Amino acid sequence: MVAPTLPEKCGRGMWRAGAKWAVGATLLGAGGGAAAIASSDDPSTSLKICTIVPLRLFRDAVTAAVIAFDYKYSFWGVEEGSAEWLKVRHEVHNRCAHRIQELCFRNGGIYIKLGQHIGQLEYVVPQEYVQTMRASMLKRCPISSYDQVRSVFMKELGHPPENVFAEFDPVPLASASLAQVHAAKTHDGRKVAVKVQHIHLTDTAVADIVTVDFLVNFLHRCFPAFDYRWLVDEVRESAPKELDFLFEARNSEKCLDNFRRLSPHIADSIYAPKIYWNLSTPRLLTMEFMDAAEITDVTGIQRMGIQPADVSKLVSEAFAEMIFKHGFVHCDPHAANMMARPLPSSKWNIFRRKKPQLILLDHGLYKELDFLTRTSYAALWKGLVFADVNAIKENSVKLGAGEDLYALFAGILTMRPWKRVIDPSVDHLVLEGSEGDRSELQMYASQYLPQISELLRRLPRVILLMLKTNDCLRAVNHALGQGSSLETFLIIGRISSEAVLESKKMLNKRSFLWGLSIWFEKILLEARLFGMKVALRLLQFRKYLPKGMPA
């Protein structure tokens, strides 16, 4: 979120500016709060909310000023690039990451969501921030009391949960940044999961976004080269949609419909919980209860008779279909939002294995890719998998990376340095997940952080969300034991190539010669993918050979 180096022009005036901003922001919040109370239909609730907003503004201002001060003066007299400088930079990153973490927890609501975004931007923001947020933001989410849950029910349905359902567990199964989930049973005996929004979250969301905007803009003024205002823009656009659970419900149904229409070969393997519309409102969502294992619960997955490797391949295939063919993408696929179970129609095979079914949860954050963006992104990934330098450059430029930053864009997408991206070897994109890999990537991320910030400024926001989605999927595959496997990249290469061919067909449907050239290109693609599969099997076979034995 902040720079590893400091512009010389950020002098002592920064601290005074931060203090003035703290006072001004607090007064602004108080004035806005008074206006809200006067115009509200529920003055008592608005009064409670508006007493919170100035306090949040003050916390934001103090945190921003302390961070700016820390970055400015911790490096005073330290030679840039020296061992001491690297040590100081790591310590400052850690301190400031924990300050932002504490701010997110104290303010709650949209701030938690922002912290989760940061935790999913590996190698795009400093690692200290990623690791701090990732270690805590999914585990320490706020929990509403049962009285607060009852209050939401009364406001939304006019009855308490114990009247709406035959059974309702007051202890939540899980809690997230915006809501928590309770187990319940309907009066006709069906077990359901009820997602209940944290109380007053809708009322405070707008104010939260404004205060976050103040924070990020202040830090940008202090460190102009490091611009993460796009992250606030994304939260501002996505938050209202994520706070409307009916919007989420419609997304889940549209997602499944896309698989049935556009990817029928795996449609049965993708599932989303059934929605009980008569028991759902914008702040309450009643869904079918899923008896399945969390996507990273390797032991639980194996206990059900399905293999983690098969689950990993299904995850890769499902999201490649969404990104390259549907253009309607679930952009929050972290471990808590996916589950796996045996495909209901699946039977044991001779190896005592069943086919998996992927269950997608939390459909609040989706992004649509228009035809040109989707096609260029598919062509870019095809170029990355097949190490096609011209295709990588051409499509990176189309997506906004520019002639100067296309190599960096390719590196961020694949988490590999440019020399590996263009290496013609079949496993050139595979990440082993070793400490050496991680150290190398962190070195590149630190070295090119100003360029990364500039790249993020140029790219369309929908592509920035694809970067986040890639990071989430990479983390899930790593937990399943696959890492960034060659099998994963073969799946991406096949589906992205199919999407490119389909787009070519759409652009010229009537020409016989054009159709013939596409058919020939498809034959060459199949041959190329077959060769890569053979190479994959040989690489896997070599792993089982005793050391020193020739392959």
The C-alpha atoms of residue 523 and residue 494 are separated, in whole angstroms, by 12
CA distance 488 to 501: 20
Radius of gyration over every alpha carbon of the chain, rounded to an integer in angstroms: 25
The pairs formed by 149-158 with CB atoms below 8 angstroms and a separation of 24 or more are 149/180, 149/182, 149/196, 151/199, 152/196, 152/197, 152/199, 152/283, 152/284, 153/196, 153/284, 155/283, 156/281, 156/282, 156/283, 156/284, 157/279, 157/281, 157/284
Within 13 Å, how many C-alpha atoms sit on residue 8's CB side?
2
**How many of the other CB atoms lie within 10 Å of CB of 229?**
14
In angstroms, the CA 250 to CA 253 distance is 5
| Cβ 298 vs Cβ 357: under 8 Å | no
Burial class (CB in 10 A: 0-12, 13-18, 19+), 14: buried
Give the integer Cα–Cα distance in Å for 121 and 144.
Answer: 28
How many C-beta atoms surround the C-beta of residue 70 within 10 A? 17
Q: Which of 208, 297, 332, 471 is catalytic?
A: 332
- Is 70 catalytic? The answer is no
By annotation, the residues acting in catalysis are: 332
